[in-house]
Amino acid sequence: MYVVATPMGNLQDITLRALAVLRAVDVVAAEDTRHTKGLLSAHGISASLMAAHEHNEARAAEQIIGRLAAGEQVAFVSDAGTPGISDPGARLVAAVRAAGHPVVPVPGPSAVVAALSVAGFVEGGFHFVGFLPPKSGARRHRLEALREGVDVTVFYEAPHRVRDSLRDMAEVLGPDRELVVARELTKRFEEIARLPLGEAQAWLDADANRERGEFVLLVSGAPPAEGLDAEAERVLALLLAELPTRTAAKLAADITGQPKNALYQRALAIKS
């Protein structure tokens, strides 16, 4: 089974390999067959289609495994971007692999990677969260767990929740964090802005259209504690995810050369 990345908006954002695979397979399993039919038609591809979405994933997996067992080849696509990245597909891939069939990635568009490439965040890595919980209480609880992370945090958000999510981010993570809003990537009304998180509401207020479309939100990591550099923060956060507080602080000191006591106090703050 091929997992094929497809355009997020601009139909030209598809690889030659993806087109070749979509032409060659016996069936294309799609999140929305009507949507995928339009994509295929735009590239002159006539293919057999079947539905495979979050509401029929188990049944679709059985059908796909049956086809693979019969020697057929299957391509799986979501509506936009890379399947399994905040889109249906992960359960389907797991089922196909568990049945002993190879799963082959056909890479291409991905909203998280596209947004990161134009964000301009220089240091550190990134932590991809995807969609936050829709209700404020659960959303704020999730943000609290992310507050001390030193890497850029990447979220997806829907238009009807973006204002409330940005408000919660500013209150929980702090208004001084840098925010990059990437809206409607690769589409006609694409917009990318960088600003302090505390100015997000005013940015939305300036133009009603800014609450429309699909969003990728990137938020800079927590500032280093006084006396600790960004690399020490990063190492400490990684070790704390796997080790007790005192052990993580000692190892972080050995690795980075930063003061053990400062790292231990920082570790306690993160854990609290």
Task: Look at residue 6 and tell me whether its pLDDT is greater than 80.
Answer: yes
56, burial (CB in 10 Å: exposed 0-12, middle 13-18, buried 19+): middle
What pLDDT sits at residue 148?
A: 80
Hey, is 152 helix, strand or coil? strand
pTM: 0.81
Q: How confident is the model at residue 131 (pLDDT cuts 50, 70, 90)?
A: very high
Residues with Cβ within 8 Å of residue 88, at least 6 apart in sequence: 31, 52, 53, 54, 57, 78
Torsion of CA 7, 10, 127, 88, to 10 degrees: -30
Q: How far apart are alpha carbons 24 and 11 in whole angstroms?
A: 19
What pLDDT sits at residue 150?
A: 82
Task: Look at residue 204 and tell me whether its pLDDT is greater than 90.
Answer: yes
Question: Which stretch of DSSP H or E encloses residue 232?
Answer: helix 230-240
**8 Å CB contact between 150 and 124:** yes
Q: Express each pLDDT in 239-248 by its tens digit.
A: 999 999 999 9
What pLDDT sits at residue 269?
A: 84
Task: Look at residue 225 and tell me whether its pLDDT is greater than 70.
Answer: no
In this prediction, residues 124-133 reach a mean pLDDT of 92
In this prediction, residues 108-122 reach a mean pLDDT of 95
Task: Look at residue 171 and tell me whether its pLDDT is greater than 80.
Answer: yes
3-state helix, strand, coil in the chain (%, to 5): 45, 20, 40
State the chain's mean pLDDT as an integer. 93
